[in-house]
Amino acid sequence: MNNFDNLIELGKLSAIITDGDQYKPEEIFKSVLDLLNVYFKADWCIIRKHDELNQNLEIIESSGLSSDELVELKSLTTSSLVYSHIVLQRKPLQVDNIYNEPLFNNEVYITQGILSFIATPIIVNDRVLGSIKIYSKKPKVWKKSEMIFLNIVASQLSMTMSNYDMMNGYKADYQAIVSAIIKLLEIKDKYTSGHSIRVSYYAVLIAKQLELSTSEIKRIEIAAILHDIGKVVVSDEILNKSSKLSEEEFNEIKKHSVIGAIVLRSGGFCEKIYKAVEQHHEWWNGKGYPYGISGDMISLNARIIAVADAYETMTSQRPYHKIKSHDEAIEELVRCSGTQFCPTIVKVFLSIKE
């Protein structure tokens, strides 16, 4: 391929990778490998993830392999030489003919007819997270331009690999932490059992109706689950008080949105999540708290959570109000649309709950 063709192919790959909000990392990997297969006229294309504990490069996505070939290849541990070259030295690797490179010889490659390959590491923040490897069943003198092209693709895939690593490496820990936080809140405030989960459910329905991206919906789901995390510092007496709160007590309650945002920001959550938590009690007309901001100054995610939170609260048992029916809660949302709540979000929620 000439330089112009290279640019065209890079453009296709960039479009797939940079549109990551629309796709899961696995889908991006698969699309990229399919394009690389065509570009290199390859027989196999593989993306591997660096398993630091076992010092291995394990296959997470492939193109061109049969199911039997994939099973056989997955059963193998990466050779120490390949691991050293890709992970420890962080260098691209080129083998033009396996028979001329006995150190890289592998029985499976020979059995399956693989004779040459190139590979390059995927590096994020000076850490090798994985690699891309292109295989051919012909001896091939790989061009310098092909290696440069593969290095560019690896660089573009770095953020996708980072997201994949985060989602898979920390998913269990994240779920355990969130569950622990919710349980802690429910122990402190006996009336809010299940509240966060239900608010999250309604918020996600609204986000989907707005056709937001998959990643944005996930951020809204997380923010909605954790929107009351700041209440852990509010006294049990205030949280469970059945009579009207004094001004001093209400001011204490009002601190929870800012405290929640501080906790989440300190914990490494992204800005869209902690801002949604911080702003979910702001009013459309500027009469909410903590900052009294209004309209579009309030983040979209916070506006969504505000409506979901209000509906769930009105239709659930609380010490300070009677349960409202669905129709009564909807009537209240409509009444407060344009003052407390964003009119667009109320309209969307009504279309869901009709």
| 44 found inside a domain | yes
CA distance 13 to 34: 10
Q: What is the number of domains present in the chain?
A: 2
Range of the domain at 276: 189-353
Task: Please return the burial class of 296, using the count of CB atoms within 10 Å of its CB with bins 0-12, 13-18 and 19+.
Answer: exposed
CA distance 195 to 51: 38
User: Which of 145, 163, 181 is the endpoint of a domain?
Assistant: 163
Question: Dihedral of CA 342/218/200/203: which sign?
Answer: positive
In terms of domains, do 142 and 16 share one? yes
In terms of domains, do 344 and 208 share one? yes
Match 């690389």 to its residue by tokens: 36
| 171 found inside a domain | no
Residues 6+ apart with CB under 8 A from 28: 16, 17, 20, 157, 160
CA distance 178 to 4: 49
In terms of domains, do 15 and 156 share one? yes
| 91 found inside a domain | yes
| 170 found inside a domain | no
What is the model's pLDDT at position 175?
65
Q: What φ, ψ does residue 62 adopt, rounded to 5°?
A: -150, 165
In terms of domains, do 11 and 87 share one? yes
In terms of domains, do 58 and 155 share one? yes
CA distance 221 to 301: 9
CA distance 300 to 283: 12
In terms of domains, do 139 and 223 share one? no
| 68 found inside a domain | yes
Determine contact, residues 50/137, Cβ cutoff 8 Å: no
Residue 352 three-state SS: helix
For residue 207, give the CATH number of its domain: 1.10.3210.10
| 177 found inside a domain | no
Match 């993830």 to its residue by tokens: 49
| 182 found inside a domain | no
In terms of domains, do 154 and 34 share one? yes
Quote the Cα angle for 185-189-194, to 5°: 65
Q: Along the chain (354 residues), what's the average pLDDT of each consecutive run of 10 residues?
A: 50 53 74 87 91 84 88 77 85 89 69 88 89 92 89 85 68 65 70 80 95 89 89 79 83 90 82 94 97 96 97 83 89 97 97 78
In terms of domains, do 229 and 306 share one? yes
Match 């006996």 to its residue by tokens: 190
Helices (H), ranges, the chain:
3-18, 25-40, 67-74, 80-83, 107-112, 144-156, 158-188, 195-209, 214-225, 236-239, 247-254, 256-266, 271-279, 300-314, 326-335, 343-353
In terms of domains, do 198 and 151 share one? no
For residue 140, give the CATH number of its domain: 3.30.450.40
Identify the bridge partners of residue 47 per DSSP, sorted by sequence position: 61, 132
In terms of domains, do 34 and 71 share one? yes
In terms of domains, do 114 and 202 share one? no
In terms of domains, do 247 and 123 share one? no
User: Which of 128, 163, 198 is the endpoint of a domain?
Assistant: 163
| 168 found inside a domain | no
- 25 token code pair: 């990392």
Determine contact, residues 147/133, Cβ cutoff 8 Å: no
